[in-house]
Amino acid sequence: CFTHYILSKFIQIFKGYCLMRTMSSNRPNHYDVAIIGSGPLGCTFARKLLEAKKKYNVVMLEAGSKVSNPPGSHLQNTFRYQKDINSFTNVIRGHLQILSVPTNYIYPDNIDQEAELKNGTIHLNQNPEQKREDNLSAAAATYCVGGMGTHWTCATPRLRGDERFPYLIPDDEMEKLYDEAEGYFRTSPDPYKNDINPPMLHTTVLERLQEYYRSIKISNENEPKPLPLAVNYKKPYNLWTGSYDILGGDKNYNKENFHLMDNHLVKRLICMRKTSNETEINTVIGLLARNLNENKDVFITANVFIVCGGSILTPQLLYNSMEKIIPLSSPQFPPPKFPLSLPLPRNHYLLPHMPSLGKNLCEQSLAFCQIALKKDILNNMYTDGRWKKEVDEHKSKYPNDPIYIPFDTPFPQCLVPYSGESGNENGKDRPWHAQVHRAAFSYGDTPLPVDNRVILDFRYFGKTRHNKKNEVQFSDTCKDMYGMPQPTFHVKASEKDTKYNHKMMIEMTNAALSLGGFLPGSEPQFLSPGVALHITGTVRMGTDENDSVVDKNLRVHKVSNLFLGSNGVIPTAIAANPTITSAALAIKSANYIIERLNNGEFEGGENRFGNYHGYSRL
């Protein structure tokens, strides 16, 4: 009846109201730890804190939305992308936001003169301050819950030789940190080692690659081997590790002391500065975030703050919160607008100046090609006794298929390790590492008629040596699409870098030709600078505040409770994928934070600042 219908609707609305009140009341005004960024490193910090013996309230803020289910999980685990790897390429492209787009020379001289088209536009990360020749044109960020962990390649090689930094963290300690990080990431040194029968494509390619490198006299320790991957292989699928898995899955995501705030852009860290016995003490007292859904600012307090926004967005936030060398009264740098009443001058609420912020930027060069496997390699594989049964079954089931490789055969995953640099560029130095496999990237998609089973990708990563002039700067006039200071790159390859890159290209070309012929359109080439997405050094770790941003525990110099998790903390020039190393460093930092939380060193954050006029406090 109508009365029953009205009553049921009232009960439904009342329950919803009560649920909203409960959710609101369950969100504390103050947190033990605030983590900015929900990617692999933010989730590494969060997991350590959530699994600590003592219960800590942890809030994680993310500017983007939830795009995968569960939130932060790897998008490639979707059935379609497991079956059709090419289609995942556009997913990756769609989640990458290019950081700096030069606009000073775009005006075409043959445009209709009645049309309106201007140089120097500033919309959607367009940047008139960016010189095209200095740009990392493919450098990008991902804004979503899970960050890059929703679409990364999951390659997790450890650093080797001179890539490491034993002067800061001894190798034996680093090995233990790697072990723990690899547990979080579900890393396997050989993703297919537990398969009863070795996968035919992977094994064949690895063996032929080893043959080639032995022919050029590579040492045993540097010969090709399986590529370490953060993946759980369950035939016929690879279950790729995403940020959600690194967090610990449901058991941590659903804990009552974990609070995820998506669509919240952190704009500024608010710092309290005091001087005691002529020693400057800086403490972050809160953060200002923009609720992008409701278009309003909120203020959050915590005892500890951890910024995990990537190698460019992390220093961007610090810059926006930092004291500049230019006097605050300068018209070039107007005083920051805080929507609150301040009992002290505004510069007392800025982070201290960081002379090394954004400098020593290193990004790997990337040589790339694709081949179709040689006929003799395929024919030998078809007749190899190890796979005869699989081949015969496939031929029987699909008699019209001209390729006899079963459809559920996993792709090759091979690594040619970094072998270091002696300083003699005319010798046999190989300051690069290589990955030979079939995977999805933001580049290198194959034409639809081409069968993926016979295609191989060759990716050779060369390290870029440190140079303080290689840096990212942040504009005081131009803003990015989120209203934050626009990043501008100033990056040049050194003469030594270019010589090694040329040698790397020769090696890749010869190795590729030993296995097959080049796919038209994917012949050997250097890809656009920044496409590796492996930028390091921008907030580098060190002992000297004039030459680094954080100490070996990833605490920002001169700031008592601010920590960074980023590939940007890695202080050395590297050729390997940086994520697992950054996660190992995050674990060390989290252990340091937990120890000091336990002894009360960071307590009292909610009482450091008392006036919250003009914005809502969560």
Catalytic one of 360, 470, 567, 577: 577
Residue 108's Cβ-count burial label (10 Å; 0-12, 13-18, 19+) is exposed
Distance (Å, whole) CA 241 – CA 248? 11
- CA pair distance 574, 552, nearest whole angstrom: 18
Longest Cα separation, the chain? 90
Strands 485-490 and 97-98: unpaired
Torsion of CA 521, 522, 527, 532, to 10 degrees: 140
577 assigned to active site: yes
Measured in whole angstroms, the distance separating CA 41 from the mean position of its chain's CA atoms is: 8
From the list 563, 476, 455, 488, the residue with the least C-alpha distance to 35 is 563
In Å, what is the CA distance from 36 to each residue of 438, 593, 594?
Answer: 33, 16, 17
**Distances, alpha carbon 583 to alpha carbons 28, 43, 68, 158, 233, in Å:** 28, 9, 22, 11, 22
Nearest in space to 311 (alpha carbons), one of 72, 574, 587: 574
Tokens linked to 45: 């910090």
Closest Cα partner for 339 from 305, 302, 290? 290
- Going from the C-alpha of 478 to that of each of 105, 215, 218, 360, 483, the distances in angstroms are 17, 54, 50, 23, 9
d(CA 77, CA 108): 43
Query: Which candidate in 263, 534, 561, 567 is catalytic?
Result: 534
Residue 432 and residue 504 in contact, taking contact as beta carbons nearer than 8 Å? yes
Report whether 355 contacts 499 (CB < 8 A): no
- Say how far apart CA 415 and CA 399 lie, in whole Å: 34
Please check whether residue 609 is in contact with residue 565, taking contact to mean a CB–CB distance below 8 angstroms: no
* Sequence-distant contacts of 75-80: CB under 8 A, at least 24 apart: 75/150, 75/151, 75/242, 76/151, 76/238, 76/240, 76/440, 77/237, 77/239, 77/240, 77/242
> 266 vs 261, 536, 605, CA distance in Å?
11, 22, 18
Secondary-structure breakdown of the chain: helix, strand, coil percentages, each rounded to the nearest 5: 30, 25, 45
The length of the chain is 618
Catalytic (active-site) positions: 534, 577
